[in-house]
Chains A and B, each alone.
Chain A
Amino acid sequence: MSDPEIKNAVFKILRRIAPEANLDQINSEENLREALDIDSFDYLNLMIGLHEELKVEIPESDYRSLGTLGELVRYLAGRLR
Chain B
Amino acid sequence: MPSLGADMEEGTLIEWSVKPGDRIQRGDIIGVVRSEKADIEVEVYHDGVVDQLLAQPGETLPVGAVLAVIREEGQAPAALVHEAIQPAPPAPAPSAPAPSAPAPMPPATRLRVSPLARRVAQELGVDLGQVQGTGPHGEITKEDVDRAAEALKKAPVEKPAVAPGFRADMRRAIAAAMARSNREIPHYYLETRIDLERALKFLEAENRKRSVSDRLLSVILLIKAVTRALQDVPELNGYWIDDQLQPKEAVHIGFAISLRQGGLVVPAILDAGRKNLDELMQSLRDLITRARAGRLRSSEITDATVTITNLGDLGVETVHGVIYPPQVALIGFGRIIQSPWAENGMLGIRPVVTATLAGDHRATDGHRGAQFLTALNQHLQEPEKL
Chain A positions near chain B (C-beta within 8 angstroms): 18-20, 22, 33, 37, 39-41, 44, 47-48, 51, 57-61
Which DSSP category, helix, strand, loop or mixed, fits chain B's interface?
helix
A44 near B125: Cβ-Cβ < 8 Å: no
A58 touches B212 (CB 8 A): yes
CA distance A59 to B313 in the complex (A): 20
Tell me, in angstroms, the Cα distance from A59 to B261 when the chains sit together.
31
Residues on B with C-beta less than 8 A from A60 are 204, 207-208, 215
Contact with A along B240-252 (1 / 0, CB 8 A): 0000000000000
**Which 5 A-B residue pairs are closest in the complex by CB-CB distance?**
A39-B313, A60-B207, A51-B212, A48-B213, A47-B212
Name the distance in Å between B265's Cβ and chain A's nearest Cβ. 14
User: B219's closest neighbor in chain A, by CB?
Assistant: A40
Q: Determine how close the nearest CB of chain A comes to the CB of B40; give it in whole angstroms.
A: 21
16 A–B pairs (Cβ distance < 8 Å), ordered by A: A19-B124, A19-B125, A20-B260, A22-B157, A39-B313, A40-B217, A41-B217, A44-B212, A44-B215, A47-B212, A48-B212, A51-B213, A59-B208, A60-B208, A60-B215, A61-B204
Decide if A20 touches B204 in the complex (CB within 8 Å). Answer: no
Residues on A with beta carbons closer than 8 Å to the beta carbon of B161: 19-20
Give the complex CA separation of A72 and B125 in angstroms.
28
Q: Which residues of B contact A18 (CB under 8 A)?
A: 260
Inside 8 A of A41's CB, which chain B residues have their CB? Answer: 217, 284-285, 288
- Chain B interfacial positions (CB closer than 8 Å to A): 124-125, 157, 159-161, 204, 207-208, 211-213, 215, 217-219, 258, 260-261, 284-285, 288, 312-313
Of A18, A39, A44, A58, most B-chain CB atoms within 10 Å: A39
A44 to chain B, nearest CB (A): 6
Please measure, in the bound complex, the distance between the C-alpha atom of A78 and the C-alpha atom of B347, giving whole angstroms: 39
Across-interface contacts of A22 in B (CB, < 8 A): 157
A20, A40, A44, A57: the one within 8 Å of B261 (CB): A20
Known pairs A19-B260, A20-B159, A60-B204. 16 more at Cβ < 8 A? A18-B260, A19-B124, A20-B160, A20-B161, A33-B313, A37-B260, A39-B313, A41-B284, A41-B288, A44-B217, A47-B212, A48-B213, A57-B211, A59-B208, A60-B207, A61-B204
Taking the closest CB of chain A, its distance from the CB of B212, in whole angstroms, is 5
CB distance from A20 to the nearest CB of B (A): 6
Closest CB of chain A to B385's CB: distance in Å?
A: 22
Q: Which residue of A lies closest to B210 (CB)?
A: A60
Q: How far is the CB of A36 from chain B (nearest CB, A)?
A: 10
Residue of B nearest to A59 (CB): B208
Task: Determine the distance from Cα of A39 to Cα of B218 in the docked complex, in whole angstroms.
Answer: 12
User: Which B residues are CB-close (under 8 A) to A47?
Assistant: 212
Which chain A residue has the least Cβ–Cβ distance from B261? A20
Question: What is the CA–CA distance of A29 and B212 in the complex, to the nearest angstrom?
Answer: 25
Q: A20-B161, A41-B285 are in contact. Are A57 and B204 (CB under 8 A)?
A: no
Min Cβ gap B349→A in Å is 15
Among residues of B, the one whose C-beta sits closest to the C-beta of A60 is B207
Cβ of A54 to closest chain B Cβ, rounded Å: 12
Please give me the residue from chain A that is nearest to B284 by CB atom: A41
Q: Give the nearest-CB partner of A58 in chain B.
A: B212
A37, A44, A47, A58: residue with the most chain B Cβ atoms closer than 10 Å: A44
Nearest CB on B from A55, distance (A): 11
CB distance from A59 to the nearest CB of B (A): 7
Determine how close the nearest CB of chain B comes to the CB of A32; give it in whole angstroms: 12
